[in-house]
Structure 1
Amino acid sequence: MEQTVEIQNKAAGVSRFIIVLTTVTAAIMELLDTTIVNVALNQMAGSLGATIEDIAWVITSYAIANVIIIPMTGFLGEYFGRKNYYLGSMILFGIASYLCGNSGSLWELVLWRFVQGIGGGALLSTSQAILFDAFPGKERGMASGLFGMGIVLGPTLGPTLGGYIVDNYTWGDIFFINVPICIVATILTIMYIPKKADEGKHRDKIKIDYLGILLLMIGIGALQYVLEKGESKDWFQSKEIAIVSLLALVGIVGFISRELNTDHPVVNLKVFANRNFAFSSIFVLVSGFGLFTSVFVYPVLVQRINGFTPYETGLSLLFPTLTILPLFPILGRRMSAGASPIPFVVSGIIIFAAFGFYSGTATTDMGRWDFYSMQLMRGLGTVLLQLPLINASVAGLKPNEFGAGISLTNMIRQLGGAFGIALANNYVAQQYAQHRADLVANYVPSNPLFTERFNAIKMSFLSRTGDAVQATAQAYRQLELLLDRQSYYLAYLDTFRIISIFFICVLPLVVLLRTKKKSAAEAAAAAKAAAESH
C-alpha cells in the first residue's frame, strides 16, 4: 500500500500526464499492430510471392505469441521487475518491428512477427498496471476510461493508418513507424515511470515452470499448424498432419496435466473448476473468433471484390467505430456500479449474430458508406461483449483468483482469434471450390445466358483488336476471372454467416451464467487484477 502511495505521489502533475501518454500509446501501438497488417495482405502476398492463405500466418503468428506471453506477464514482471520487463519488451517490440519491415520472405516475416508479439503482449498487460498505480483509488475510474478508449482506438486506427501507408508508400513502412515511437517511449519510461521498492528483490524465491511454457508453445503451435495447413494437405490423409496433430494433442494434454499438478504453474488452470468461469470462457472464445475473423475477412473481401484501396478499407472501419466509441466509458461506469453483465452479453451476442447474417447480404457494387451500418453493428457487438465478459468471468472467483482469471480470459480471446482466422482460411478455400464447381456447371454453350455474355465480351475485344481468334481467347480469360471473383465473393459471404452460427449456438448457454453483486472491496480488487493482467 505504501509503495502504491509513493508511486502516486511521484506521478503527480506533468509526470502523471507523461505516464498516461506513454502507457496508453504503448497499448495502442500493440493493439494497432494486430490489425494494421489486415489491409496490406494483398500487397504482402504479391511482394513475397505467397498466397492469401499463407500470408495469414503474418496475423496468426502475432496472435499466437500474444496467447503464449499474456498469461506469463505476471510472473515475468515479478521476476525481472515490472519496469525492467516493460523496458525490455518495448525494446524487443521496436527491434522486431524494424526486422519485420526488412523481411525478404514470408517465413522471415512470420518469425519476426512472432517475436514482435512476444514483446507486444507485455506492453498491453503491463501498461494498464503502471497506469493504475499512478492514480489513487477514487481516480482509477478515469484511468480505466482513458485506457479503455485506447483499447478501442488501437484496432480501429490500424486498418486506416495501414491503408494510408500502403497506398502511398510500401507495406514495410507499417512496421517502421513503430521504431521512433518505441525509442521515445523507452526514454520516457526510463525518466518518468518509477520502480516499485521491491522490484526484482524476490527473484530467488520465484520458480519458473519451464516445462509448462514449453508444452504450451508446442501444443498451441502444433494445433495452429494443423488448422492452417489441414485443408491444403487433405487433413489426416497426410502423414505430416497426422504427426503434427499427435504433437498438438501431447502438448496440450501435457500442459494441462502439468499446470494442474505443479505447485508453481505458469498458468493457473484451477480457476476452471469454477463453473461460471468455465462457461464464460466459451463466450470469450467465440467473441474472439467473431471479432478477429470478421476484421480479417472484411478487408480481403472489399479489396478483392469491391475494389477498395487499403486506405478506403481502413476508413470504412474507422468511422463506424468512432460512432460507438463514447459507449465504452458509459458501459465501464455501469460495470463499476455493479450492473449485471449478462444482459449486455446477450445483447452483444444477438447483435454480432445479426451482423454476420447482414454482412452475408453484401453486394459487389457496394461503396464505403454502404458498409457503414454493417460495421456499426460489429463495433456495437464488440463493445457489449468485451468488458461485460471479463466481469462475468470473474464474478464467481475469489479475489486472489481475479488475476489468473482475467489473464486466462485475455489468452482465450486471443486464442479464439488465432483459431478463427485459421478456420476462416480453410472455410473460404472449401467454399470457393464448391461455388466454383456450381458456377462452372452453368458455363456451357447450351446456357443462353452464358452464350449472350460470352458473345458480348468477345465482340468488345474484337472491336478493339480486329482479331477473332485473339478476341475469343480473351473472352474466355475474362469469363474465367469473373468466375474466380464470384466464387471468392460467395465464399466470403458464407464465412460471415458461419460467424453468426457460432454465436447462435452459444446463446442458449447464457442461462448457465450466474453473477452476484460485488462489494466495494471486491470491485476494487477486480479492477486492480484487470489492470495487472489485461
Structure 2
Amino acid sequence: MADTQATVTDENSLVEYGFRRVIITITAILCALLEIIDTTIVNVALNDIRGSLGATLTDVAWVITAYAIANVIIIPMTGWLSKQFGRRNYFAASIIIFTVTSFLCGNATNIWELVAFRFIQGMGGGALLVTAQTIITESYPIEKRGMAQAIYGMGVIVGPTLGPPLGGYLVDNYSWRDIFYINIPVGIAATILTIMFVKSPKYGEKLKANQVDWWGIAFLAAFIGSLQFVLEHGQQDDWFEDHLIIILSIVSFFGLIAFIWREMVYEHPVVNLKVLKDTNLRMGTIMTFVLGFGLYGSTFIIPIYTQSILGWTATDAGLLLIPSSITTGIMMPIIGRLLQNGVPQKYLVIGGFTIFFLYSLWMFTVMTPDTGSEHFFWPLVVRGIGLGLLFVPITTLSLSTLQGKDIGDGAAFTGMMRQLGGSFGIAIITTFITRITVQHRVDLIPNITAVDFKVQQRIQGLKQMWMSKGFAPNEALDKAYALLNGSVTKQATVLAYMDVFLYLGILFLLCVPFVMLIKKGAGKVDMSNAAH
C-alpha cells in the first residue's frame, strides 16, 4: 500500500502546469517530429545522393534501410533503457546522438559512411518517439491525458507527410546535405530544453552488467534487423530467388523463436512479453500494425505515382500531402476533447477505419494517367480525417486495461508495430505494383492488334509526328511502336495503383469486426507509467 502511494506521489510530481508544461510539450513534439520526418525526408533525395556519392540504386537504398533497422530494434528497448539511465538522461543523450549524426550524415563523403551514420542516427531517433509520448502524457494530469495523446499524435501522423515536401524543397533549391543539417539547430534547442525542464521518475534499482539481458538484445536485433532487411530489399532482390534474403528470413524466424523463449524465462527481460496476455493490447497491436500499413503505405505510394506517372517534381508531389496533414492536425485536439468527454474509443476507431475505406475507394476512382491535383484534394482531406480518428483512440484502447509499469511496455509494442506495419506496407505495395503491372500489361496487349483500324491509325499518326521532326520513315515507325509500348506500360501501371488502393480499403474495412472484440477499458487511460 505504501509503495502504491509512493508511486502515485511520484507520478503527480511529474505533472507540470503553465509555462513549464508548454515548453516540455513543444520539446517532446519537436523531437517526435524530427524522428518521424527523417524517416521519409530522405526518400525524395535518393537520386541526388546517388549522383553526388557515385552510388548504385541498391547501395543508396541502404540509406533508408539502415535507419529503419536501427529504429525498430531500439523502440521495444526504450522503456528498459529509460530505467537504466534515467528518463531525462536517456532522452537528452538520444537527441545528442541524433543531432551529431545528422551533421555527420551531411558531411558524408561516400555512400557507406552515410549508411553507417544513418544507422547510428536511427538508434538515437527510435528512442525519441516512445519517450516523447511518455514525457508529454506524464506532464498532464490524468483527466487531460486524452488531449496529451492527441498532441503527441499530431507529431506522429503529420510527420510522415511533412517529410516529402520539406525534402523536395531542400533538394530542388539547395542540396541533399541540407535535409540533415536542418536537424542541427532543432536538436541543440531540444537538448538544452530537455536538460532544463524534463524530470525523471524515480526508478527502482538499476541492473548490474551481469543481469542485463544481453541474449535478449542479441535475439531481438537478429529477428527485427533481418526482418527489416528482407522487407526493404525483398522486391529488388527478387525475394526468395536471392540467397541472402533466404538466409536472413531463416535468421529472422529463429531469432523470433529464441527471443520469445528468452524473454519468457529470463528474470530481467529487456522486453516484457507477458503484457501481450491482455486482449486489448493484442488487438491494439494488430490495429496499430494496420494503421502503420495504411499511413506509411499511402504516404509512400502517392509521391511515387505523381512523379513516375504524372511527371510532377519532388516538391509538387510532397506538397500534395499537405491538406491531409493539416486536416489530421485539426482533428487531433477535437478527438482529444471527445475522448475527454467520454466518447467510447471503439466508435471512433470504427469511424476511422470506415472513413479510410472510403478514402481508398475514392482514390481508386480518380486515378488516371493524367489526373490533376484538384482531383486528389478532397480524398486526401478524407484521409486526414480517417487517420485522426484512428491514431489516438487505437493507442488509448490498446493500453486501456493495462496498469502501472505494463503501460510502458504496451506503448513500446504499439510503437514497434506501427513502424513494422509501415515496412510491411511499403514492401508488399512495391512487390504488388511490380508484379500486377506485368499481369495488367499481359491482359492489355491482346487488345492491340495490327489488324485493328484504330491501332493502325494511332501508329500512323505517331509515325507522321516523328517524320515531321526529321526522322527517316523506319526510325519514325520504331519510335511510334516504342511510344505505343510506353503508353500500354503506363496504363498497366495505373491499373496496378488502382488495385493497391482498392485492396488497402478492403483491408481497413475488414478491421471493423475486430474492433468489436475489444473489451471496455477504463475509458480514460492513465499513461503516467508509459516508460516506467
Under TM normalisation by the shorter chain, which class is it?
0.7 to 0.9
| 1:66-89 C-alpha deviation (Å, 9 max, x unpaired) | 222122111212212222212221
Separation in 2, partners of 1:406, 1:86: 16
Residues 143/234 of structure 1: CA separation in 2 closer, same or farther (3 Å cut): closer
Tell me what 1:306 maps to: 310
Q: How does 1:99-498 map to 2 (within 5 A)?
A: 99-103=104-108, 109-134=114-139, 143-190=148-195, 192-196=196-200, 202=206, 204=208, 207-361=211-365, 362-498=367-503
Q: C-alpha displacement at 1:274, in angstroms?
A: 2.1
How far off its partner does 1:161 sit? 1.4
- Asked whether the equivalents of residues 80 and 199 of structure 1 are also in contact (C-alpha less than 8 Å), the reply is no
Q: Structure 1 residue 110: deviation in Å?
A: 4.3
What is the 5 A alignment of 1:16-35? 17-35=22-40
Count the aligned residue pairs: 523
* Match in the other structure for 1:515: 520
Contact preservation (8 Å) 1:39, 1:313: no
- Of the candidates 81, 84, 95, which is equivalent to residue 86 of structure 2? 81
The code of the aligned residue for 1:85 comes to: Y
Identity rate, percent: 41
Of stretches 470-479 and 277-286 in structure 1, the one that deviates more from structure 2 is: 470-479
Cα distance between partner residues in 1 of 2:314 and 2:528:
39
2:68 is aligned to: 63
User: 2:528 aligns to what SS in structure 1?
Assistant: helix
Counterparts of 2:235 and 2:166 in 1: how far apart (Å)?
Answer: 33
Name the amino acid aligned to 1:279. Answer: M
Counterpart in 1 of 2:3? none
Task: Write out per-residue CA displacement over residues 425-458 of structure 1, whole angstroms, 9 at most, x where no aligned residue.
Answer: 2112111222233334445423333322222222
Alpha-carbon separation, structure 1, partners of 2:15 and 2:242: 59
Shift of 1:402: 1.6
Deviations along 1:199-257, whole A, 9 cap, x unmatched? Answer: 89735499432211111111122223333444455544554433322211101111111
* Worse-superposed segment, 160-169 or 383-392: 160-169
Amino acid at match of 1:288: G
- What are the superposed Cα offsets for residues 107-153 of structure 1, whole Å, 9 maximum, x if unpaired? 65444333222111222222343445555666666655543433344
Letter in structure 2 aligned against 1:489: V
Q: 1:377, 1:288 → 2: CA distance?
A: 17
1:408 CA drift (Å): 0.8
- Counterpart residue type for residue 218 of structure 1: A
**8 A Cα contact 2:65 2:229, kept in partner:** no
What residue is the counterpart of 1:527 in the other structure? 527
Instruction: Determine the C-alpha separation between the residues in 2 that align with 1:218 and 1:167.
Output: 38
Which deviates further from its counterpart, 506-515 or 229-238? 229-238
Confirm or deny: 8 A CA contact 2:148 2:336 kept in the other structure.
no
What's the TM-score, normalizing by structure 2? 0.88
| Counterpart contact for 1:316–1:369, Cα < 8 Å | no
Consecutive unaligned residues of structure 1, counting only runs of 5 or more, are none
Asked whether the 8 Å contact 1:79–1:206 carries over to 2, the reply is no
Task: Please list the CA deviations of residues 280-339 of structure 1 after superposition, one character each: whole Å capped at 9, or x if unmatched.
Answer: 322221111111111111110011111222222222111233134222112112223443
* Equivalent residues of 1:63, 1:415 under 8 A apart: no
1:226 to 1:29, Cα distance in 2 relative to 1, 3 A: closer
Q: CA 1:464–1:418 in structure 2 vs 1: closer, same or farther (change >3 Å)?
A: same
Question: Which stretch of the first structure deviates more once superposed, 198-207 or 414-423?
Answer: 198-207
Q: What is aligned with 2:4?
A: none
The 1:16/1:409 distance shift into structure 2, 3 A limit, reads: closer
Q: Please report the TM-score for the alignment, with normalisation by the length of structure 1.
A: 0.88
* C-alpha RMSD of the superposition: 3.0
Instruction: Give the C-alpha shift of residue 363 in structure 1.
Output: 1.6
SS at the partner of 1:465?
Answer: coil
Q: 1:3 to 1:310 in 2, by over 3 A?
A: same
Contact 2:153 2:392 in 1 (8 A): no
How far apart in 2 are the matches of 1:438 and 1:107? 42
What residue identity is the alignment partner of 1:253? I
Question: Which runs of 5 or more residues in structure 2 are unaligned?
Answer: 1-7
Mapped to 2, the partners of 1:424 and 1:44 lie a distance apart of 24
1:69 to 1:239, Cα distance in 2 relative to 1, 3 A: closer
**Cα deviation 1:322-359 (Å, max 9, x = unaligned):** 13422211211222344321111111111212222221
In structure 2, C-alpha distance between the alignment counterparts of 1:239 and 1:430, rounded to whole Å: 21
